[in-house]
Structure 1
């Protein structure tokens, strides 16, 4: 072998080694959002897989209710952007400390996005500015459920625009899909050392039909499908399975018969003595509903609207409860032995308020700890707490967060 040949081979080896190292050292978490492949799992807060033999680590999950931007919210976003599009980061600034501190944070994006620059609309057929997704990412969310009765408000195009924007900013999504392959894929996150699956379903799409030939576009609330998907998620490697359910009766604090019966069915489902579902997260009712432990598994029947405009009930009266919601925070610990479930060792809730005068989501724990003397803050905190605890969750260990999160 000549000297020139040896030098060429050495140079080629160095180039290949450099490329391999670069490929291994660049994690999804640090990849630019524009380079995240469409339909791929988003970056997670726990980077990479645990090292072989490393001890298992638990995680905290934060989940919040419906993001339902009415016209007033859209208008405030334009004001906050000072004439340059929309900026919704101030909207979520008050809850950013608790959301960003979680190992995994999930929202419910109830509406779909319009085209860049609009037009946008509120009730009854929503088209929200896509900058909402940017603000959710900035607040610390890792992903959102996207199955709701408004998912097809602008047909297939609106659904696609929404998921495209999620991919662009690096947010995960579950419950709606652009392709059959995407619909069949389990949404997995890494939190602590756990692989966490997120599944999402809605009771209806307000009468809008599924796009022609695409019955998988939005997941509908069917018990057999939910259980089958949960078991598929386990086979895909999920240690924990979270199910988001868009269900219930609007303006009713008490969960309806469908919520109670389906909740019991889902939490009773087991495979080889292990529950198929580890937590149920409900949305849709516009107001806070109870948390309850059923068959050893927590159900949040309804978190309420995290973001909404002034809300009016079915009698046409303004209902302040439409501005109330709760943040659910659950701490999961690794199983004591192989084949057992990850256990919720701490269950908490944080009352929050959509302040429509200011156009901001208010963490009521922080506001009251800051000596807020506003009657609406105290009234909201009391009403949310009463609703959340209305089915006896305190006896099973659910606690209201009292220390400031800032």
Structure 2
């Protein structure tokens, strides 16, 4: 093979080898990494807190005239026991979140006991009221000084021993200060500040040096009983508002006995109380029922405030015989707290008519009876009385159930 051939072969081989190689591949420039922007999680819509609803049972005047006191005596057990007398009210009192009444007597562990005109009743009454389901009683009324200052102190001592809260009277100046005199209660999750007052003390002056003993809403409690102590009421209600409770309730002893309608003075006082923050005004003293109503008042600053008023529920227990003094009702108020607005108030009510039945025999037996349910075996006379009690309550208190 000649030199030219070898060169040619070499050249061809080089060409062939070169032609078999792949073309160079360009490597792409990597793009800069992009960090995704995190998507904010949606803010969950808070679940609205449902309104809180509670029930407050209200009863009338608890009076122990001597026939009632004698009936409460259990000879076999050697004790005073009032529970059989008002047992029929237990489902309505015990069934409420909180229950209140007006205690219109003094209490003592020592006899002799007495009824009208100067009441002194067995201390067992306090424990029996607590057992029935009551939580608080008004002690400011025209009979609270029937046994003087000592009787007032004894009454409060017995209530404390029974575990019953009280408003309206005080054993000391310290106890009469707003921070202790105003009772704040948890009523089924709704806070309520309770205050208590009376128009007078049946002409018995306050003990010397103890003006704090009884909460009086009249400046002329020994004379005309017609001049409200506006300064005191306004100051007390300001103290109650400062407690920042959901509701304020004023229990008050007022009006004219045996009248089934309120008078103008009661209405004026109601307006004064509501204008200064009272949401509930719970009255007693008339010994017969008086109306229920919602009342709207314009305050001095131009704002409007609505409150519920019970002028009177008559006697819870007694042995009075005047017309309608045996007729009463257990009132149940529906209280509602709106957590969204912070507003609270009475959103409804109902009542159960009751009749204090007096049966004469070898002994006088008193039974508070549910007038809306005729007991088996009731005589025609008792049936008529029960039906009349239902009718009377409807005409005075209004139809049941009622709503504002």
Q: Does 1:138 align with 2:145?
A: no
**For the residues of structure 2 that align with 1:298 and 1:370, how far apart are their CA atoms?**
36
Structure 1 runs not aligned, ≥5 long: 1-52, 270-275, 312-318, 399-406
Q: 1:4 is matched with which residue? A: none
Q: Does the aligned pair in 2 maintain the 1:85–1:117 contact within 8 Å?
A: no
Q: Does 1:264 align with 2:264?
A: no
> Which structure's residues are more often helix, by fraction?
1
**For the residues of structure 1 that align with 2:339 and 2:346, how far apart are their CA atoms?**
13
Q: Greater Rg, structure 1 or structure 2?
A: 2
Deviation at 1:249, TM superposition (A): 0.6
Cα pair distance change 1:57/1:369, threshold 3 Å: farther
**For the residues of structure 2 that align with 1:102 and 1:159, how far apart are their CA atoms?**
29
Q: Does 1:201 align with 2:197?
A: yes
> What secondary structure does 1:380 align onto?
helix
Q: 2:326 is matched with which residue? A: 323
**For the residues of structure 2 that align with 1:395 and 1:138, how far apart are their CA atoms?**
27
Q: Does 1:362 align with 2:365?
A: no
Q: Does the aligned pair in 2 maintain the 1:310–1:356 contact within 8 Å?
A: no
Q: Does 1:244 align with 2:246?
A: no
RMSD across aligned positions (CA): 2.1
Q: 1:50 is matched with which residue? A: none
Q: 1:304 is matched with which residue? A: 314
Q: 2:85 is matched with which residue? A: 91
Q: 1:285 is matched with which residue? A: 286
Q: 2:36 is matched with which residue? A: none
**For the residues of structure 1 that align with 2:349 and 2:93, how far apart are their CA atoms?**
15
Cα pair distance change 1:234/1:112, threshold 3 Å: same
**For the residues of structure 2 that align with 1:231 and 1:352, how far apart are their CA atoms?**
37
After TM superposition, the score normalised by the length of structure 2 is: 0.76
Deviation at 1:189, TM superposition (A): 1.0
Corresponding residue pairs, total: 326
Cα pair distance change 1:259/1:123, threshold 3 Å: same
Q: Does the aligned pair in 1 maintain the 2:143–2:202 contact within 8 Å?
A: yes
Q: Does the aligned pair in 1 maintain the 2:138–2:167 contact within 8 Å?
A: yes
Q: 2:68 is matched with which residue? A: 73
> What secondary structure does 1:59 align onto?
strand
Q: Does the aligned pair in 2 maintain the 1:335–1:343 contact within 8 Å?
A: no
Q: Which residue among 377, 380, 392 is the counterpart of 2:389? A: 380
Cα pair distance change 1:396/1:85, threshold 3 Å: closer
Q: Which residue among 397, 400, 403 is the counterpart of 2:403? A: 397
> What secondary structure does 2:171 align onto?
coil
Deviates more, 1:131-140 or 1:232-241: 232-241
Q: 2:302 is matched with which residue? A: none
Q: 1:13 is matched with which residue? A: none
Q: Does the aligned pair in 1 maintain the 2:355–2:369 contact within 8 Å?
A: yes
Task: Map Cα deviations across residues 269-306 of structure 1 (whole Å, 9 max, x no partner).
Answer: 3xxxxxx1111111001100111111131111111011
Cα pair distance change 1:168/1:56, threshold 3 Å: farther
Q: Does the aligned pair in 2 maintain the 1:293–1:396 contact within 8 Å?
A: no
Cα pair distance change 1:370/1:181, threshold 3 Å: farther
**For the residues of structure 2 that align with 1:66 and 1:394, how far apart are their CA atoms?**
21
Structure 2 runs not aligned, ≥5 long: 1-47, 218-228, 297-305, 360-364
Q: Does the aligned pair in 2 maintain the 1:92–1:136 contact within 8 Å?
A: no
> What secondary structure does 1:159 align onto?
helix
Q: Which residue among 97, 107, 113 is the counterpart of 1:103? A: 97
Once the two structures are superposed, the pairs formed by residues 345-356 of structure 1 within 5 Å of their partners are: 345-356=347-358
